[in-house]
Amino acid sequence: HELGAPLAAVILSLRLLLRRLPGVVDAAVSPSSSSASQEFQSYAETALWEAERMRVLVGDLMDASRLQRGKLTLRIQPEDLSPLVRRAVSLAQLGTRSQTVTLEVPQSPVVICGDATRLEQVVVNLLGNAMKHASASERIDVRVTLQGSEAELQVQDYGPGISRDHLPHLFKRFFGATRAAGTAETTTGLGLGLYITKELVNAHGGRISVESREGEGALFIVRLPLCEQPPETAYMCTIASVPEAD
């Protein structure tokens, strides 16, 4: 709480600023200076994205602790996966100007039983991972499809790919994988994002996998069971992480 509350205040202030910024800037500069308005807008968006990234890091630390103690709680109810993924994509796009995120979703609802906030966290984590590790990839593709009794989410980048030696360890706690050998990338972050993502997917009765070849990018696939018998009311459940094998 001591870390989260100040960040929440910063994020709220930046969002309010972005809403009012065009009018404020236009009143402060000459009417012909539209570039100034765009410049200030860019600064504010960058600040918001960095604050959101810090919020994710703090949240990862707290979630990892809750998982270890069996204290992470989910609020389960029917959710349409498509608008949830749209929100996550919109948030992630604030953090990039060099990458285009494409989104494909079915026209019909994709209803699963889950915690909307935590499922959105899964998508944001996967998009953030792609943006960080495949920064040279001009495009990231996000797809939602129906596969029989399951919903499938794909996040695909076209960066350097993941080292084959790192693939078996990718979802382990505190494991910070670099991408394929020969890149200038340095590993950043806590090594918790993909670990938490896997635990959240498992808690929803789903599974996550990754396909990658060096030099050909990475494809993360999340499969979640469809909500065939929706609960009459939302209910809470608590999850704990499974001890990792050495």
List per-block mean pLDDT (blocks of 10 residues) for the chain, which spans 246 residues.
77 84 52 65 82 80 82 91 94 76 94 94 91 84 96 95 88 68 49 90 95 91 91 78 60
**What pLDDT is attached to residue 185?**
46
- Residue after which a domain boundary falls, among 31, 50, 69: 69
22, 93: one domain? no
55 and 25 in a common domain: yes
Range of the domain at 25: 4-69
Q: Is residue 244 part of a domain?
A: no
Report pLDDT for 29.
44
Q: What is the pLDDT of residue 34?
A: 61
Is there a single domain that holds both residue 45 and residue 19?
yes
pLDDT digits (tens, 9 = 90+) for 142-199: 999 999 999 999 999 999 998 888 888 899 887 765 554 444 444 555 678 899 999 9
Predicted TM-score (pTM) of the model is 0.75
93 plus 63 within the same structural domain: no
Q: How high is the pLDDT of residue 228?
A: 81
Is 246 contained in some domain? Answer: no
CB neighbour list of residue 133: distance below 8 Å, 6 or more residues apart: 157, 159, 160, 162, 178, 179, 185, 218
Beta bridge partner(s), residue 224: 151
Q: What is the CA radius of gyration of the chain?
A: 19
Check: CB of residue 175 under 8 Å from CB of residue 153: no
Question: How many whole angstroms separate alpha carbon 239 and alpha carbon 68?
Answer: 9
Same domain? For 61 and 121 the reply is no
The predicted structure's pLDDT at residue 42 = 81
38 and 151 housed in the same domain = no
Residue that is last in its domain, among 53, 69, 85: 69
Assess if residue 166 is contained within a domain.
yes
